[in-house]
Amino acid sequence: MNEIALSAGTIEYDDVGSGPMIVLLHGLMMDLSLWDDTVAELSAGHRCVVPTLPLGAHRQAMHSDADLSLPGIARLVAELLDRLDLDDVTLVGNDTGGALVQLLLRANTERVGRIVLVSCEAFDNLPPGLTGKTLALVGKLSPGMLGLFLQQLRLRAMRRLPITFGWLTKRGDAATAQWLKPVLRDAAIRRDVVRVLRAAFADRTLLIKAAEALPGFDRPALVVWAAQDRVMPLEHGRRLANLLPQGKLIEVDDSYTLVPLDQPRRLAELIAEFA
What's the pTM value of the predicted model, to 2 decimals?
0.97
Q: In which domain, by residue range, is 103 found?
A: 2-125+203-274
- Structural domain count, the chain: 1
CATH number for 76 = 3.40.50.1820
According to the model, what pLDDT value does residue 165 have? Answer: 97
Residue 45 belongs to some domain of the structure: yes
Residue 33 belongs to some domain of the structure: yes
Confidence of residue 13 (pLDDT cuts 50, 70, 90): very high
* 108 pLDDT higher than 80: no
* 24 pLDDT higher than 90: yes
- For the stretch 73-88, pLDDT in tens is 999 999 999 999 999 9
Residue 98 belongs to some domain of the structure: yes
Q: How does the average pLDDT of the chain come out, rounded?
A: 97
- For the stretch 212-263, pLDDT in tens is 999 999 999 999 999 999 999 999 999 999 999 999 999 999 999 999 999 9
Residue 132 belongs to some domain of the structure: no
- For the stretch 129-172, pLDDT in tens is 999 999 999 999 999 999 999 999 999 999 999 999 999 999 99
Residue 192 belongs to some domain of the structure: no
According to the model, what pLDDT value does residue 107 have? Answer: 81
> SS in 3 state form for 27-93?
CCCCCHHHHHHHHHHHCCCCEEEEEECCCCCCCCCCCCCCCCCHHHHHHHHHHHHHHCCCCCEEEEE
Query: Is 160 within 8 Å of 172 (Cβ atoms)?
Result: no
Residue 154 belongs to some domain of the structure: no
Residue 114 belongs to some domain of the structure: yes
Residue 194 belongs to some domain of the structure: no
Confidence of residue 109 (pLDDT cuts 50, 70, 90): confident
Confidence of residue 1 (pLDDT cuts 50, 70, 90): confident
